[in-house]
Structure 1
Amino acid sequence: MDKLSNYDENSDAGYTSSPSNTPAFSTVSGDSFAYCQTWTSSESEIVDESSYASESSPSPWRAKPNVLSKLGMKLCKHSMDDKLGGSDVLDSAELEMMKERFAKLLLGEDMSGSGKGVCTAVTISNAITNLYATVFGESLKLEPLKPEKKAMWKREMKVLLSVCDYIQEFAPTAQYLKDGTLVEMMKSRPRLDIYINLPALQKLDTMLMEILDTFQDTEFWYAGNIPGNLNRGASFRRIVPRKDEKWWLPVPCVLPGGLSDMSRKHLIEKRDCANQIHKAAMAINSNLLAEIDIPETYIDNLPKSGRSSLGDSIYHFMHTSDKFSPEQLLDCLKISSEFEALELVDKVESSMYTWRRKACLSHSISSWSKVKDLMEDTDYNDKSYTLAERAESLLFCLKQTFPELSQTSLDTCKIQHNRDVGKAVLESYSRVLEGLAFNIVAWIEDVLHVDKSMRNRDV
């Protein structure tokens, strides 16, 4: 009997992966790393809802051959009870989809299996970005998110963020022994950047969902979705035409006379709230990007001369001015679009690091990470040091003048070459929340603009 009992226990090695209770979220073929989310989602939810103290599973002698463990049977049973009413039949198509996504996750999207796939940090970053595109990509109106999309967002983000629960750091702590002796011990705790930023981002996420939920019954609608039999879409487009840069967005419509005072006040309050959320998410994202090390590939591709990157006119202004004023330089440049501003930011940023590198050449630096520390020891009268400082002030002024600029070339390079999983999760999460908050503000501004136009028409 002992041998039979041992065989009973040892023959159950392994876990049976339980089926996902959600469809694949990605609707775009070829979405990078979208495969990992449905597989991990079901497993995370099952662990949360399952209890190891529940009733024991059937004996393996009576179980189907594909059930490999008692624990796997219990986990699978809880999931299937919710989905199939207690049936233990596993959908073969869903199982194959789970296998495919898990395989792609392990391969890092390198289907050749040669180990040339992307790293884990980039995988999770792309997964969060793709999830945001899937859930919010078709949201172009100021309205609540569909229940299935909201459930998908919460469920999949919970799984993707769960990796942060296992990112720990050791910190010294004092502890008293039974005899009263005070000893110092190392205790694990969540990493500081995750401990600070992740709860803040989750709070911002919840606030944005709450803002969208408040626009359930509104006094405005959108052309193409007009209530009743009132066809106001065509005439409204002539009254308030859509700007060329927003031709793809639906046109908001209001009744003649505009919105009521209560509705207008509600819109303004939510706009201000979303604007503050956008600033907070943008600040978190900027700080996270600043903490990511500059990749060596970016340093290797820097221009040999900062002057050739910026151009003679800008270089002459920065080099010859006794008291450099970045605001005065921007006034002279007369930047007309954000595209021009982003192009100038890339040039200024690359020139700044070029001059910093030249200022530190005398120290024979082998690692770029030491440049910032050595800059403090550099001669302040050095020309390259002065130009680097002025380029930094110009860069700061540009970002203050154009706060809605997209990512610079350096930011993109940092994200692509980052190997820190915790920073990748926080950066991508803050980036998508920043984009959602910006869109909500823009949608509210569109409605308020139409409301103002309709009220002025009646005057």
Structure 2
Amino acid sequence: MMGSPMRRDDISNAYSHPSPGYGTSRYSRTYSNLSSSSHADEEESSNLETTPPPRIASRFAPRPPSSPCLNKLSMKKNVNVTAALINPEDEELELMKDKYTKLLLGEDMSGGGKGVCSAVAISNAITNLYATIFGTCHKLEPLPPEKKSMWIREMDCFLSICDFIVDPSPIEQTMPEAETAQPRMDIVMNLPALEKLENMLLDLLDSFDGTDFWYGDPRNDSFKSTKSFSRSEDKWWVPVPCLPDNGLSILASKELQKKRDCANQIHKAAMAINNDILAEMEVPESYITTLPKSGRLSVGDDIYYHMQTTDQFSAETVLSSLHISSEHEALEIADKVEAALYIWKRKVNISHNRAAWDMRSDLANDGDKNVVLSSRAKSLLLCLKEKYPSLSQTTLDTSKLHYNKDVGKAILESYSRILESLAYNIVSWIDDVLRANDSIRNSVSYSYTI
């Protein structure tokens, strides 16, 4: 039977001890060469030798004001320590130093200045880490321990950068700068939510341990005798789920449906955060220069006819009339609608910024029309993304990410994007099992009828 997805309880008290700083560093000292020493020195040496190691906080616990990982990056290694006695934590710190160095240099270690900015480098690194860990995962099963450990360790390294991104605030003369600096509001609002979503997704994968279904290899002869369903040719690389002769039990089917609903809600939440972060990014000038003069030229006459009608507008009706046959065609329409949306929003801002004496009735009516068109274009774009959840990034989103220089927004955007992708994959994998179960039950009921 499948276990229900586990959720962690309150994690606000996970940091019960302060993070270790420079004052807790231990140094290796030898007193054998001293001719004489006091009793106090001997007590100090014994206390240093018996000091317990600092406590390591949980990956998903609330972040302390200062990350212990970054505090350790500035600690110098003791030259008296031999290579055979190097602590594994020191090796991990060395790897972290190399990683941060590459990120600060924009992934260009040659020193030739051919790298990208730090924000783009961090975004690419998080995306590449997701591809490394989850790129070969196509089954409903727990993540292997070594991959899960690598994922948590590497993501903790990337997310610890957010501990040092603060809001610029007026500094009082009587208080030092370190006491007045506050974490940036977008990070405070979104980062804990994303970490909770990640925790739920990993727990959801862990719950698929000892399930009533399994995955078979179509190339194996024993696979033909199992109950499965035919895989579409566009997903030939995805494993095919196999079920018992009578399918899943009613209880197992209900549990699987609950997990599907949970993953779907996580997908919607991650997608909403990602859309908000992308909307806050500045539109690059290179994208503005490529825009047509009007929104009608961007979307075309067919879509514009549906959008400018005075009757009640329905985004679903517009999409059904377009007869979209592939995701590539859907992405092209999304690019056109998003460009028109930005054109109409710019016209609205320009009309609102005009002086009062220059406002004529025709300009006011045109401004209201642009408001209506921009609102309908936004609803059409959202409906298109909901109908095609695996749609690639639009031209505007790609331009924003390429020219973005805000490290905090880069981390939040890439973090929410990979969680959105993982949640969508889990939903699609569960749908495969449910379809296979429905196929088996229909065949069994049909045999009983005969």
TM-score scaled by length of structure 1: 0.71
Q: Offset at 1:190?
A: 1.0
Tell me: CA distance 1:304–1:266, structure 2 relative to 1, closer, same or farther (3 Å). Answer: same
Q: Offset at 1:102?
A: 6.0
Q: Which residue of 1 aligns with 2:330?
A: 341
CA contact (8 A) 2:306 2:313 kept: no
Q: Which residue of 1 aligns with 2:399?
A: 413
1:447 maps onto 2:425 in alignment: no
Deviations 1:297-322 (A, max 9, x none): 11111123433332233334444x23
Q: Which residue of 2 aligns with 1:325?
A: 313
Out of 285, 295, 300, the residue aligned to residue 284 of structure 2 is: 295
1:381 maps onto 2:366 in alignment: yes
Out of 274, 277, 287, the residue aligned to residue 285 of structure 1 is: 274
Unpaired segments of 5 or more residues in structure 2?
Answer: 1-17, 34-73, 446-450
Q: Which residue of 1 aligns with 2:248?
A: 259
Q: Which residue of 1 aligns with 2:145?
A: 147
Equivalent pairs counted in the alignment come to 376
The aligned amino acid for 1:313 is D
Tell me: CA distance 1:186–1:107, structure 2 relative to 1, closer, same or farther (3 Å). Answer: closer
CA contact (8 A) 2:278 2:413 kept: yes
Deviations 1:232-282 (A, max 9, x none): 412448x61101221110111011001223322321221111111111111
Out of 432, 436, 439, the residue aligned to residue 418 of structure 2 is: 432
Bigger relative contact order (CA 8 A; separation at least 6): 2
Q: Which residue of 2 aligns with 1:119?
A: 117
Which range is displaced more, 418-427 or 346-355? 346-355
Deviations 1:368-387 (A, max 9, x none): xxxxxx9xxx7243465554
Deviations 1:69-126 (A, max 9, x none): 9842299789955549xxx9x89xx98x888756643431345533232111111111
The aligned amino acid for 2:422 is L
CA distance in 2, matches of 1:125, 1:262: 42
CA contact (8 A) 1:349 1:395 kept: yes
Out of 211, 217, 226, the residue aligned to residue 224 of structure 1 is: 217
Q: Which residue of 2 aligns with 1:353?
A: 342
Q: Which residue of 1 aligns with 2:304?
A: 315
CA distance in 1, matches of 2:110, 2:145: 38
Out of 56, 65, 72, the residue aligned to residue 77 of structure 2 is: 72
Deviations 1:43-83 (A, max 9, x none): xxxx9778743542348xx9xxxxxx984229978995554
Unpaired segments of 5 or more residues in structure 1?
Answer: 1-46, 63-68, 178-184, 366-373
CA contact (8 A) 1:318 1:324 kept: no
Out of 98, 106, 128, the residue aligned to residue 126 of structure 2 is: 128
CA distance in 2, matches of 1:115, 1:137: 31
Matches within 5 A, 1:20-31: none
CA contact (8 A) 1:128 1:157 kept: yes
Identity of aligned residues (%): 51
Q: Offset at 1:168?
A: 1.0
Q: Offset at 1:344?
A: 0.9
CA contact (8 A) 2:351 2:364 kept: no
Tell me: CA distance 1:111–1:166, structure 2 relative to 1, closer, same or farther (3 Å). Answer: closer
Name the Cα RMSD after superposition.
4.0
CA contact (8 A) 1:324 1:390 kept: no
Which range is displaced more, 334-343 or 449-458? 334-343
CA distance in 1, matches of 2:314, 2:277: 25
TM-score scaled by length of structure 2: 0.72
Deviations 1:197-255 (A, max 9, x none): 111111111111111111111111111399xxx96412448x61101221110111011
1:193 maps onto 2:186 in alignment: yes
Q: Offset at 1:293?
A: 1.3
Tell me: CA distance 1:384–1:233, structure 2 relative to 1, closer, same or farther (3 Å). Answer: same
Tell me: CA distance 1:393–1:54, structure 2 relative to 1, closer, same or farther (3 Å). Answer: closer
Deviations 1:160-188 (A, max 9, x none): 000000011245799x99xxxxxxx9822
CA contact (8 A) 2:226 2:244 kept: no
CA distance in 1, matches of 2:75, 2:325: 67
CA contact (8 A) 1:222 1:251 kept: yes
Matches within 5 A, 1:6-25: none
Deviations 1:117-156 (A, max 9, x none): 2111111111110111111111111110000000000000
Tell me: CA distance 1:235–1:339, structure 2 relative to 1, closer, same or farther (3 Å). Answer: farther
